[in-house]
Amino acid sequence: MNIKREIIPGTDGNQLSIGIIGGGGQGVALARRLAQLGHRVAIANSRGPASLTALAADIGAMPVSVVEAAEAKDIVIVSIPTKAVLDLPTSLFSNVPSSVVVDTSNYHPQTSAMAGSMPSTAACLKASG
């Protein structure tokens, strides 16, 4: 398998503006590493930025709302339980400047109680404009 590696220039040189929606195991691991690499990381969860103050300070990230995280200029990472994608604001991605949206979620239709009714994040993003 050929894997193509490409350096994506950020809006501010090599420092990327990255918004992470999800402050659990995956979101925090990504936020911590990306902040260590020198990127500007904003992180959000379902309970609001005040609940992330201490964690974000430890990581070196900025605690923000979900809407603010989606406004990151270069990359938005959605790292929440798949079924929670349906709880995100429907217009969340309507006017965001990011060119790259990454979804870390795993969807297991064989075991999911939502099998057959769960749209992909891509479908949600398309529906929200």
Ligand X SMILES: NC(=O)c1ccc[n+]([C@@H]2O[C@H](COP(=O)([O-])OP(=O)(O)OC[C@H]3O[C@@H](n4cnc5c(N)ncnc54)[C@H](OP(=O)(O)O)[C@@H]3O)[C@@H](O)[C@H]2O)c1
d(CA 72, CA 100): 10
- 45 touching ligand X, by CB under 6 A: yes
Instruction: Name the DSSP letter for residue 9.
Output: P
Paired tokens of 101: 């949206």
d(CA 8, CA 10): 6
13 vs 25, beta carbon nearer ligand X:
25
CB of 126 to ligand X, least distance (A): 19
According to CB under 6 A, which one of 26, 65, 112, 128 is a site residue for ligand X? 26
- 105 touching ligand X, by CB under 6 A: yes
Shortest Cβ contact with ligand X: which residue?
Answer: 24
Give the angle subtended at the CA of 102 by the CAs of 99 and 11, to the nearest 5°: 35
Any residues with CB less than 8 A from the CB of 34 and at least 6 apart, and which? 16, 18, 20, 41
CB of 9 to ligand X, least distance (A): 25
According to CB under 6 A, which one of 17, 79, 98, 121 is a site residue for ligand X? 79
Residues binding ligand X (CB under 6 A): 21-27, 44-47, 66, 79-82, 84, 87-88, 104-106
